[in-house]
Amino acid sequence: MDLFRSEPVAQPLAARLRPGNLDEYVGQEHLLARGKPLREALEQGALHSMIFWGPPGVGKTTLARLLAQVSDAHFETISAVLSGVKEIRQAVEVAKQQAAQYGRRTILFVDEVHRFNKSQQDAFLPYVEDGTLIFIGATTENPSFELNNALLSRARVYVLKSLDEAALRKLVQRALGEDKGLGKRRLQLPEDSFKILMAAADGDGRRLLNFLENAADLVEDGGSIEVELLQNLLGDSRRRFDKGGEAFYDQISALHKSVRGSNPDAALYWFTRMLDGGCDPLYIARRVVRMASEDIGNADPRALSLCLTAWDVQERLGSPEGELAVAQAIVYLACAPKSNAVYTAFKAAMRDAAENGSQEVPLHLRNAPTKLMKQLGYGDEYRYAHDEPDAYAAGEDYFPEALEPRHYYQPVPRGLESKIRDKLDHLAALDRASPRQRRKP
């Protein structure tokens, strides 16, 4: 008996309710329901290395433990937050001992695997390759960006989803009904209170049980967990939003695409979701200015000015007044005529500038502030547009000599750009009719 080992005085509710078999596991039916590939592989003993990708509190660690139990494998776990190559080597030695002494396979579960750098991730490869251990990594970040290709090629990625209402309801029922949970206390949870808990948990089962346990500590046995108690306890519970993480970029992408798709209601939803999650409104204001140029452009040039004004209001007034101005700009963008003609033209011009080297400016387009420059021909034959009919030098060429004239900008037949297109078509006709045209575009 180890006299120096102490057991926790009281395990958290979430730990006490950890399922003992796959049938008790809550959620992830798309992976574990009867007939689904992962369930079938487990029941047939065809265990393989895998990556669990999903938000916090959806059962990644619990599922890994259950896989070890179902397959009668030894379970080793390390955290990438606290471990390094030394701990990886120690886990490998344990796996070798288990295989040699007991003939058992070993599952090495690596929590927060995305926190390992590329060289640390490489340390797993030979042992995964030769079957020394079965690797299961858990991550809240996109494996495509955070894990190296060599590791990804040796492990199958399974996407775990946030727990829905039905799954969260099952967790609450187990917590209130089982003796290892809160069953002995005979507590009541009204429907309105459950709704508040569910919203605060935001799909995170561990968070839900922690909130429930905290509330239960403030209620006498046989009592009811009421709405007022939860509101005072939970305060301002933010939704899942991790600046710089997957949820952050997914939500700003959804906002941008809603604006581009001319759906002001969806755009407002994603805007408020980001605010609710704690996003800096100034970040959104800056992105909205980008949307005005990228997706509205010259179809409605007022959009850019309105977005810059909204940004200015946010900086001057802060919340909540500034957020209303940003919301106004978002709705305007969503309802405005759309054009990415300037954005497309800009990218095409940048591509040409990068691919065609340092082309010389034609002499007729150069200024000649000195006598020497004039003698060298700088500015010769330049046609001052204001002296030409309609203030347009028909047939003039403004591109480098070695570069054929391009038409990057193709206005769309929407909003103001329809008039811009008519104007450019008229000027192109003048060019074609001009005897001074240098070359055909």
CA neighbor of 264 nearest in space, from 282, 288, 248: 288
Tell me, what's the pLDDT at 142?
83
CATH number of 423's domain: 1.10.3710
Where is the domain boundary, 159, 187, 204?
A: 159
Tell me, what's the pLDDT at 239?
58
| DSSP-assigned letters across all residues of 175-222 | HHHSTTTTGGGT-B--HHHHHHHHHHHTT-HHHHHHHHHHHHTTS-TT
Tell whether 172 and 143 lie within a shared domain: no
Tell whether 259 and 313 lie within a shared domain: yes
Task: Please confirm whether the linkage preceding 389 is cis (ω < 30° from 0).
Answer: no
- Distances, alpha carbon 19 to alpha carbons 48, 313, 355, 439, in Å: 22, 52, 60, 78
Tell whether 201 and 121 lie within a shared domain: no
> Does residue 175 fall inside a structural domain?
yes
Task: Give percent of the chain above pLDDT 90.
Answer: 26
CB 94 within 8 A of CB 76: yes
Tell me, what's the pLDDT at 332?
96
Tell whether 289 and 181 lie within a shared domain: no
Alpha carbons 400 and 396: distance in angstroms, whole number: 12
> Does residue 180 fall inside a structural domain?
yes
- 45 φ, ψ to 5°? 75, 15
> Does residue 351 fall inside a structural domain?
no
Where is the domain boundary, 234, 264, 287?
A: 234
Tell whether 108 and 187 lie within a shared domain: no
250-300 pLDDT, tens digit each: 889 999 999 999 999 999 999 998 888 788 899 999 999 999 999 999 999
Tokens 């000599």 identify what position? 401
pLDDT, mean of residues 350-366? 87
CATH number of 196's domain: 1.10.8.60
Domain that holds residue 409: 358-433
CA neighbor of 114 nearest in space, from 74, 142, 152: 142
Tell whether 128 and 169 lie within a shared domain: no
Tell whether 60 and 77 lie within a shared domain: yes
- Token pair, residue 414, equals 């929407």
CB 283 within 8 A of CB 275: no
CATH number of 73's domain: 3.40.50.300
Tell whether 250 and 198 lie within a shared domain: no
> Does residue 10 fall inside a structural domain?
no
pLDDT of residue 337 exceeding 90: yes
Tell me, what's the pLDDT at 244?
52
Alpha carbons 323 and 281: distance in angstroms, whole number: 7
Tell me, what's the pLDDT at 5?
47
pLDDT, mean of residues 344-363? 88
Complete edge-to-edge strand list for the sheet that includes strand 134-139: 74-79, 106-111, 134-139, 50-53, 156-159
> Does residue 331 fall inside a structural domain?
yes
> Does residue 55 fall inside a structural domain?
yes
Higher pLDDT pick, 83 / 12:
12
Tell me, what's the pLDDT at 143?
86
- Distances, alpha carbon 127 to alpha carbons 82, 163, 179, in Å: 21, 34, 42
Alpha carbons 207 and 77: distance in angstroms, whole number: 22
Of the ranges 84-88, 111-115, 300-304, which is most confident?
A: 300-304
Amino acid at 280: D
CA neighbor of 59 nearest in space, from 173, 204, 242: 204
Tell whether 280 and 377 lie within a shared domain: no
Q: How many domains does the chain have?
A: 4
435 Cβ neighbours under 8 A, 6+ residues apart:
395
> Does residue 65 fall inside a structural domain?
yes
Tell me, what's the pLDDT at 395?
84
316-329 pLDDT, tens digit each: 998 888 999 999 99
CB 203 within 8 A of CB 7: no
Task: Give percent of the chain above pLDDT 70.
Answer: 94
CA neighbor of 193 nearest in space, from 205, 211, 180: 211
pLDDT of residue 4 exceeding 50: no
Of 73-87, 269-283, 396-410, the poorest mean pLDDT is in 73-87
Average predicted confidence (pLDDT) for the chain: 85
**Paired residues of 139 in beta bridges:** 53
Alpha carbons 293 and 302: distance in angstroms, whole number: 10
pLDDT of residue 238 exceeding 80: no
CATH number of 269's domain: 1.20.272.10
Of the ranges 237-241, 265-269, 378-382, which is most confident?
A: 265-269
pLDDT, mean of residues 297-325? 93
Tell whether 79 and 113 lie within a shared domain: yes
Higher pLDDT pick, 112 / 437:
112
pLDDT of residue 1 exceeding 70: no
The pLDDT confidence band at residue 415, using thresholds 50, 70 and 90, is very high
Tell whether 144 and 59 lie within a shared domain: yes
The pLDDT confidence band at residue 3, using thresholds 50, 70 and 90, is very low
Distance from first CA to last CA of the chain, Å, rounded?
Answer: 90
> Does residue 344 fall inside a structural domain?
no
Q: In sequence order, which ranges of 261-377 are alpha helices (DSSP H)?
A: 264-276, 281-291, 302-317, 321-335, 341-355, 371-375
pLDDT of residue 246 exceeding 70: no
- Distances, alpha carbon 385 to alpha carbons 122, 204, 317, 332, 391, in Å: 64, 66, 45, 37, 5
- Token pair, residue 240, equals 């899942």
pLDDT of residue 236 exceeding 80: no
Higher pLDDT pick, 41 / 157:
157
Q: Which residues of 155-189 are buried (b: 16+ CB within 10 A; e: fewer)?
A: beebebebbeeebbeebbebbbeeeebbeeeebeb
- 124 φ, ψ to 5°? -80, -25
Where is the domain boundary, 132, 159, 186?
A: 159
pLDDT, mean of residues 210-223? 88
348 Cβ neighbours under 8 A, 6+ residues apart:
406, 408
pLDDT of residue 7 exceeding 60: no
Tell me, what's the pLDDT at 314?
93
The SS3 assignment for 134 reads strand
169-206 pLDDT, tens digit each: 999 988 888 878 788 888 889 898 898 888 888 888 88
Tell whether 75 and 153 lie within a shared domain: yes
